[in-house]
Structure 1
Amino acid sequence: MEKTLLFVFVILFLSGCTVNKEMYAVGGSKADGTIELAYDFGMFETPKIDFQKASQLAVKKCSVWGYKNAEAFGGKRTRCTDRNGFGDCVRTEVTVPFQCTE
């Protein structure tokens, strides 16, 4: 019985947790009409992103510059922001560019 419980615990731990993440602004260019939004997650987390909410945030940021809309373009960039002593990535940041449109 104990081995079964231990096995279940290990599987749950290794599978990670799905975590709701909100995107936040990390950059942009008024001249280019672009906004960059990002989210980060840990080594054992599986991020769940509300892209509709992210799109609304991008529109809000673009509206400050006089634009009326925004749409994601160019895919996404992923980079490791923190490593452990063995060189494994323990925190990742994903950046998504948005183009401001009129």
Structure 2
Amino acid sequence: MKTTLATLTLAALFLTGCATPKQWEATGGSKNDGVVQTSYELGQFESGQTDAGQGLAVATARCKTWGYKGAEITGSEKNICRTMGQYNCLQTTITQDYLCQK
């Protein structure tokens, strides 16, 4: 009975995933359009934990290297499945767009 309970507990923990700290990285955009894209990756059982301020700092730094004064968030996060398994997504890319400020 103890073995079954321990196995069920471990299985429940495994299936619910874990909150994994993730860092936003500048992954795209356009200097001419003044748009910066930041992203991070999630595995199948991961639940990403991000800091919106860190994402804004990454975008602001990119905008400043392009000659802009700062950045502001635009729209909402986009989730794109990069690797599809038989029943669910195995790898997801989360992307956020920022608009550079003049």
TM over 0.5: yes
Q: How many pairs were matched up?
A: 101
The equivalent residue for 2:27 is 26
CA distance in 2, matches of 1:72, 1:49: 15
CA RMSD of aligned residues (A): 1.0
Q: Which amino acid aligns with 1:37?
A: T
The C-alpha deviation readout for 1:41-80, integer Å capped at 9, x for no partner, is: 0110000001111111111000011111101101122111
The C-alpha deviation readout for 1:8-52, integer Å capped at 9, x for no partner, is: 111101110110001111111111100000111011000000111
CA shift at 1:3, angstroms?
1.1
Residue 18 (structure 2) pairs with residue 17 (structure 1): yes
Please name the residue that 2:58 is paired with: 57
State the distance in 2 between where 1:82 and 1:39 align: 14
Query: Where do 5+ consecutive residues of structure 2 fail to align?
Result: none
Corresponding residue SS for 2:76: coil
What residue number does 1:82 align with? Answer: 83
Q: Scaled by the length of structure 1, what TM-score is found?
A: 0.93
Shift of 1:88: 2.3
Cα distance in 2 for partners of 1:87, 1:80 equals 12
Inter-partner Cα distance in structure 2 for 1:62 and 1:24? 13
Q: Displaced runs of 4+ in structure 1, greater than 4 A?
A: none
In structure 1, stretches of 5+ residues that fail to align are none
Equivalent in the alignment of 1:3: 4
1:70 maps onto 2:58 in alignment:
no
Provide TM-score, normalisation by structure 2: 0.93
Structure 1 position 83, deviation (Å): 2.0
State how far apart, in whole Å, the 2-side matches of 1:59 and 1:33 are.
11
The corresponding residue for 1:95 is: 95
